[in-house]
Chains A and B, each alone.
Chain A
Amino acid sequence: MSLLDLGWLYLLVGVACAVAVVRHSGSWQTSAGRGHAAGSAILTTLLWPLWAPIALTGKASARRNGARERNAPQTASVATAVRRIEAALREGVDTAEGSALAALLPASAAERILAEVARVAARHAELEQLLHTPDLDVERADARLAALEAAGGPARAIATARLHAENVRRLARLRDRDARALDELADLTAALRTQLVLARFAGSSVDGASGIVGEVWARVEGLSEAMDATEPEHEA
């Protein structure tokens, strides 16, 4: 095959991709839409290996982004919780440093808590990403199960689909549990910080702060627990 033959073949594929792009755009009602579709088609003809994936998959991407946006509040909430925990612990350590309260919240303990928080936040982000993939989409898994049941599919296939849907729901619950736990820990560390500040400046008893520190550690240990296989169905 000569270079010229290769060039013709390239153009042929480009024209085919351009036709697909024009059909995909569906915006021929307005002159701007027609202009855009024509421009995109020309670009696709000349540079189809680079432009066709961009032009042809726009709608699917928009659907994915829509789904992602629906879950954005939880992601933002987790990020905010992590920032609140970091700020509260750092201020708490600074407040306690050099006083009798230092033993309650040493810097090393704060670092350990932050490390665990970071691990859970990373797990949450990973779960969030996984649950946005088509294979692990809750709605799709439920729809697949419902379709099999409605069609009277083979019992083995229905059992498999049910197991898959249940596993996906458990992953979603684990993600939600992580988000809630981080949010609660953020409130608790904020309370610990104010308690330490109060104990230092008002000379109040360290008992209150000590109690909160114990509660913080309990929550941190809870964070690291894997989801129990016997977790109740209604937790979501």
Chain B
Amino acid sequence: MSTATETKHDASPFASLPTEIALLLRNPAGVARRCRDEERLPSLAAAALVATIAGAAAFGGVLGSFRGGAQIVAGAAKVPIALVVTLAIAVPAFYALASALGRMWSMRTVVALALSAAGRSSLVLLAAAPALWLAVSSGLSYHSSAVIASLAYALGGLAALGILLRGLDGGVSKLPTALAFIAVFFAIGGQTAWILRPYLGRPTLADVPFIRANEGSFADSVVKSMRSSVGIYDSVEAEWLEEANGHDDRDTESPSMETRGHASKRGRGTR
């Protein structure tokens, strides 16, 4: 791409938004190549950023619609924040890993690749939002809603991989680099999402806080869940289990730490 074209697109990064968003969805190989070649990156990055924020906000709002009311706004705000904060923290790590694994990428390329992958993922979340909304509106249970949301995230992750893996084409250490990126993203994304929860809002809660009090790390929760899965319950969780009369209600939103005892406004199940 010519210097003139680059300059022209630098002047108005949002001018070709629909075209760039269509490109994110339809041509991951072309997007990856543009990231590597640093070709018209401002317009691509701007479109990816808009797609990331809009798609994640729509999906977060639908997640919040399970509880309704203010949780819709909270969900619409928190999911994009979680994604953008994760990218902001992860991108320097991606740059360092790419350099260490033999890729002569500029920071600009790494940012564009990460943003494009996140943008594509968020567009998939946007596409999945109506289906989740329909399911939630049809009275889907808390856990089933969480599972469907997780499936949508998995689909979004696969779409993001479509750009990431193509971006890693034609160089050394493709698989180690991809695995390192994924590991870093999951570690940072998991902790960020953990800090900003709840998203769905458990039906047992009288009031859903915007952000919960500090309850340890995402890794702690994973360890606790693994222990619980083999029948070893930590003290607080065991107390809650006794209170809940044996209902197996553990999940990633750590119900043991929440205020309990209120029935859902929808009256789903036992909660």
Contacts and interface: CB of A to CB of B under 8 A. Distances in A.
Interface string A26-45: 01000011001001100100
Contacts of A50: 45, 49, 84, 87-88, 91, 111, 114-115
Interface string B33-64: 00001110110011001000000000000000
A33 B12 CA distance: 8
A27 B10 CA distance: 11
Interface string A148-166: 0000000000000000000
A27 B13 CA distance: 14
B11 interface: yes
Interface stretch (B100-108, B123-131, B141-149, B244-252): B100-108
Contacts of B41: 54, 58, 61
Contacts of B111: 50, 53-54
Given A47-B88, A58-B10, A65 B107 contact: no
> B interface, how many residues as a size bin?
20 to 34
Contacts of A39: 14
Interface string B153-188: 000000000000000001000000000000000000
B103 to A, nearest CB: 11
Interface stretch (B1-9, B132-140, B225-233, B257-265): B1-9
- Most chain B beta-carbon contacts within 10 A, residue among A27, A32, A40, A54: A54
Pick the most buried of A64, A65, A66, A125: most chain B CB atoms within 10 A of its CB: A65
Contacts of A36: 11-13
Contacts, number: 77
Interface in A64-121: 64-66, 68-69
A39 B104 CA distance: 30
Nearest to A40: B13
B112 interface: yes
A62 B6 contact: yes
Contacts of A58: 6-7, 10, 41-42
Contacts of A32: 11-12
Contacts of A129: 104
A57 interface: yes
Chain B CB within 10 Å — which of A61, A66, A69, A125 has the most? A61
Nearest to A130: B104
A27 B7 CA distance: 11
Query: DSSP majority for the A interface?
Result: helix
A57 B42 CA distance: 10
A38 B149 CA distance: 37
A159 B178 CA distance: 42
Interface residues of A, number: 27
Nearest to A30: B11
A33 B11 contact: yes
A50 B42 CA distance: 11
Given A55-B42, A58-B10, A61-B41, A66 B3 contact: yes
Nearest to A64: B38
Contacts of B1: 65, 69
B37 A65 contact: yes
Nearest to A54: B45
A51 B45 contact: yes
A39 B106 CA distance: 24
Contacts of B49: 43, 47, 50-51
Contacts of B46: 43
Given A36-B11, A65-B2, A65-B39, A49 B108 contact: no
Contacts of B3: 62-63, 65-66, 69
A51 B39 CA distance: 16
8 contacts: A33-B11, A50-B114, A54-B108, A61-B6, A62-B7, A69-B1, A69-B3, A125-B170
Given A54-B108, A58-B41, 7 more contacts: A49-B88, A50-B111, A53-B106, A62-B7, A65-B37, A68-B37, A69-B3
Interface of A: 27, 32-33, 36, 39-40, 43, 47, 49-51, 53-55, 57-58, 61-66, 68-69, 125, 129, 133
